[in-house]
Amino acid sequence: MDTTTTSPVSVNTFSELGLTDLLLRALAAEGYTVPTPIQTRAVPPILAGRDLIGCAQTGTGKTAAFALPLIEQMLATPRKAAPRRCRTLVLAPTRELAGQILEGFNAYGRFANLSAAVIYGGVSQRPQATALQRGVDVLVATPGRLLDLVGQRLVDLRTVEFLVLDEADRMLDMGFIQPIRKIIGMLPTDRQTLLFSATLPAEVRSLANDFLRDPLEIKTAPQATPADTVTQSVYFVSKAEKKAKLVELLRGEASGRVIVFTRTKHGADKLHRDLDKAGIAAAAIHGNKSQNQRERALAAFKSPRPPVLIATDIAARGIDVDEVSHVVNYELPHEPETYVHRIGRTGRAGLTGAAVSFCDHEERPRLAAIERLLRRAIPQRNEPPAWNASMATESDRGGGRGEGRPSRGRGQGRGQRTAQGNGQGRGRPQGGRGAGLRREGRSGSEAPKPEGAATATATAARKLPRKHRRAL
């Protein structure tokens, strides 16, 4: 398997990628002038017919990265889709993503006169079956509903020429592996297959091994710079203390729209129960939740009185909410890039936000890896317990910890720890909302200054139209 490097290729225009006029006009109409890195790397090999594994998150422009060259190829070999058949099949994990992909094909193919349809579960199948009757060029589908319709002979997959598996890791996380294998088993073996996934765990690799032919693997450079609208801080806590600390935080400063990240689905469910017991309204989303449950949780999270949203990384990708005031890393992620991605849920659209991480003894190496990626220390909120002091070395602190920091006086961190012990800390810290989001030195010692900017407020103006606000 070839792997391209993550360094940028110097392509500045879409025409250099080999796209024809019909597509260039559509891109101009969309306001795209420069291809994103995934587009630069993926379009030429897809145009050349290669199978491809694209390691990229949603928000990187990956829909256009596969839609553009596939439209181009379909235009190059015009063929009328037969009844109930399609030329391009895109499988996606959720109806939201499937809908977005359809919108992408419609926008990029607006001058190409191609037909497209989307099918997903949870709604009546009748309009979907009707849309497929005459056949379409592009069919975007979630796996379950697609299999349903195939079983009823309302869709016939025997002439698919191009297959896209989008957000493959999320589809597997949601338990779609069997339906996906079954669907691919119905397709002609002579086809081009593209697999996109934000992460490449073993199950995704094994799917790729089984169904892709000599794929080219491309990765977009991992995001290493969080927006400076996000104020970061870390609490050193023992595993046992985390729950109480979280409750304190949620009853205090973190009372806006808060996402709490856990590493596992089980951990998310457990925390949900714990917050319930503490009388804090919460909702959890992860791969074991049904589409309806996830949608309900997201709708509640978008409402004016949002519950705390507990999420696993993969499930959180479906969250498209700008006004998130706090991200709490209840557990630090294994991959440092995931930290950047998580905290990018706040501080969006010109708003400010706070990212608070809990770090226990075992997570110290993960924190060090995150700080290495960020090339800076994350300000701490409390004194490291003895285990930290004894473990921390300059090298596992990622080098320049504390570099250039003013020397700081002691006290604040300790005060917070004491307050936690006696329950006094549950009210807002002095200074009101956001006052707890102070930048403290690694020594935990600067006299804290209120940082009103650390809390997302609705005062900041949205500067860009929605579609241009997503991180590229």
Cβ(265)–Cβ(288) under 8 Å? yes
Q: Which residues contact 73 (CB under 8 A, 6 or more apart)?
A: 46, 47, 49, 162, 192
- Nearest approach in angstroms of CB 104 to ligand AMP is 6
Site string (112-151) toward ligand AMP, x via CB under 6 A: ----------------------------------------
Nearer to ligand AMP (CB atom), residue 82 or residue 472? 472
Q: Which residues contact 466 (CB under 8 A, 6 or more apart)?
A: none
List the one residue out of 168, 215, 183 whose CA is nearest residue 3: 215
List the one residue out of 379, 270, 383 whose CA is nearest residue 331: 270
Window 444-463: residues binding ligand AMP (CB under 6 A): none
Q: Which residues contact 464 (CB under 8 A, 6 or more apart)?
A: 349
- Nearest approach in angstroms of CB 36 to ligand AMP is 5
- Nearest approach in angstroms of CB 188 to ligand AMP is 27
Cβ(231)–Cβ(355) under 8 Å? yes
In which residue are the tokens 């996000």 written? 230
Which of the stretches 280-288, 372-380, 398-406, 464-472 binds ligand AMP when contact is defined by CB under 6 A?
464-472
- Nearest approach in angstroms of CB 22 to ligand AMP is 17
Q: Which residues contact 184 (CB under 8 A, 6 or more apart)?
A: 163, 211
- Nearest approach in angstroms of CB 61 to ligand AMP is 3
- When asked if residue 262 is in the footprint of ligand AMP (CB under 6 A), the reply is no
- Nearest approach in angstroms of CB 362 to ligand AMP is 34
Nearer to ligand AMP (CB atom), residue 101 or residue 249? 101
Nearer to ligand AMP (CB atom), residue 35 or residue 179? 35
Nearer to ligand AMP (CB atom), residue 58 or residue 338? 58
CA distances for 419 relative to 102, 338, 355, 426, 431, angstroms: 52, 31, 21, 8, 15
Burial of 22 (0-12, 13-18, 19+ CB in 10 A): middle
- Nearest approach in angstroms of CB 291 to ligand AMP is 19
- Nearest approach in angstroms of CB 65 to ligand AMP is 7
Nearer to ligand AMP (CB atom), residue 67 or residue 311? 67
Number of residues that bind ligand AMP (CB under 6 A): 15
Site string (15-54) toward ligand AMP, x via CB under 6 A: -----------------x-xxx--x---------------
Start-to-end Cα distance in the chain: 27
Nearer to ligand AMP (CB atom), residue 80 or residue 467? 467
- Nearest approach in angstroms of CB 107 to ligand AMP is 8
- Nearest approach in angstroms of CB 425 to ligand AMP is 40
Nearer to ligand AMP (CB atom), residue 61 or residue 444? 61
| Ramachandran sector of residue 186 (left: φ over 0; alpha: ψ -120 to 50; beta: rest) | alpha
Window 56-95: residues binding ligand AMP (CB under 6 A): 58-64
Full DSSP string of 97-125: HHHHHHHHHHHHTTTTT--EEEE-SSS-S
| Tokens of residue 176, six digits | 């779609």
Nearer to ligand AMP (CB atom), residue 60 or residue 193? 60
- Nearest approach in angstroms of CB 16 to ligand AMP is 13
**Using CA atoms, how far apart are residues 234 and 240, in angstroms rounded to an integer?**
16
Cβ(382)–Cβ(420) under 8 Å? no
Nearer to ligand AMP (CB atom), residue 273 or residue 467? 467
List residues bridging with 217 in a β-sheet. 3, 53
Nearer to ligand AMP (CB atom), residue 23 or residue 356? 23
Q: Which residues contact 453 (CB under 8 A, 6 or more apart)?
A: 231, 352, 434
Q: Which uninterrupted H or E stretch holds 44? A: helix 37-47
Nearer to ligand AMP (CB atom), residue 376 or residue 470? 470
Q: Which sign does the torsion angle of CA 245, 247, 248, 253 carry? A: positive
Backbone dihedral angles phi then psi of residue 264, each to the nearest 5 degrees = -125, 160
List residues bridging with 2 in a β-sheet. 216
Q: Which residues bind ligand AMP (CB under 6 A)?
A: 32, 34-36, 39, 58-64, 467, 470, 472
